[in-house]
Amino acid sequence: MSILIFGQTGQVAQELGRYDGVTCLSRAQADLSDPAACVAQILAQRPAAVINAAAYTAVDKAEEDEALASVINGEAPAAMAQACADLGIPFVSISTDYVFDGSGSAPWQPKDATGPLGAYGRSKLKGEQLIADAGGTFAILRTSWVVSAHGNNFVKTMLRLGADRDQLSIVADQIGAPTMARDIAAACIVMAQQLIGDPAKAGIYHFCSAPQCSWADFAREIFVQAEIACAVTDIPSSDYPTPAARPLNSRMDCTLLETVFDIPQPDWRLGLRDILQDLGAQQ
């Protein structure tokens, strides 16, 4: 079975590239700012399924560049989904907790009303809506706080800063869960494979690790596992202003994904251990 992956260098795309039978497309091969080029790749390669692991992820920059974010996160996935619908093959696309407004404290369910706070969330929500409108077999996987041993992410930032400082002030009123790119990739593969045989499983799903935590809590665990002596002081989001507002509540209910696809929530503390091991091996 062949699975076509949009994305090659991103955190999830690099993990997807580890699987047999996948073809990962670089930006040079399929630039998501050109939806027609993405369609051409699908039609030329005729895979058994398509996974979109590429996106415009610069949350703050999107506030100034919403038009491009909307093309990459909205129109390109829509074009992919339509091509997949025309070919009768499943399409899996990764989305985000940023489609919600971050209110309350209850875990978000896939059916809950959306309300993005900024341009990035709006662009991802546009993609979700257009993917569903294409009418094919699709799965949208909303996830949060993606980390890995690749690229730029919170784990690598904390390791760098913690090695140079005795104390860091970290936001403590944003609650969610870090999710390992390797686990997201595995979930996408399972979903694509199952959708081939059972299109009735199509829909929107949530996937993140457990247990819930704040960014400050996450930083503390990074320092504990990495044996770095750096104290963490809790601060509110208001003390760390950014161009784009972050949702305070990024908790997500992942029950539906486990029920339908038998994909359980992983423990991010174990995933963090693996990331640190990978980073140690790279050094």
Which uninterrupted H or E stretch holds 24?
A: strand 22-25
Average pLDDT over residues 188-192: 97
> What residues are labeled active site?
120
Q: Enter the tokens of residue 30.
A: 């399929």
3-state secondary structure of 185: helix
In-domain check, residue 203:
yes
pLDDT score of 38: 96
283 — pLDDT class (breaks 50, 70, 90): low
pLDDT tens for 83-97 read: 999 999 999 999 999
User: Residue 66 contacts by C-beta under 8 Å, 6 or more apart in sequence?
Assistant: 119, 122, 123
Residues constituting the chain: 283
- Is the pLDDT at 1 greater than 90? The verdict is no
Identify the domain containing residue 203 by its residue range: 3-152+178-209+250-268
Average pLDDT over residues 16-38: 94
Q: Enter the tokens of residue 47.
A: 């895979």
pLDDT score of 221: 97
The structural domain count of the chain equals: 1
In-domain check, residue 158:
no
pLDDT tens for 56-86 read: 999 999 999 999 999 999 999 999 999 999 9
pLDDT tens for 132-169 read: 999 999 999 999 999 999 989 999 999 999 999 999 99
In-domain check, residue 143:
yes
- Is the pLDDT at 177 greater than 70? The verdict is yes
In-domain check, residue 17:
yes
d(CA 81, CA 201): 16
In-domain check, residue 236:
no
User: Residue 18 contacts by C-beta under 8 Å, 6 or more apart in sequence?
Assistant: 185
Average pLDDT over residues 229-242: 95
d(CA 250, CA 232): 21
In-domain check, residue 67:
yes
In-domain check, residue 52:
yes
Which uninterrupted H or E stretch holds 123?
A: helix 119-133
User: How far, CA to CA in Å, does 212 sit from each of 42, 157, 179?
Assistant: 38, 20, 11
Return the CA Rg of the chain: 18
Angle ∠(162,163,166) on CA atoms, nearest 5: 60
In-domain check, residue 170:
no
Q: What is the CATH number of the domain that holds 199?
A: 3.40.50.720
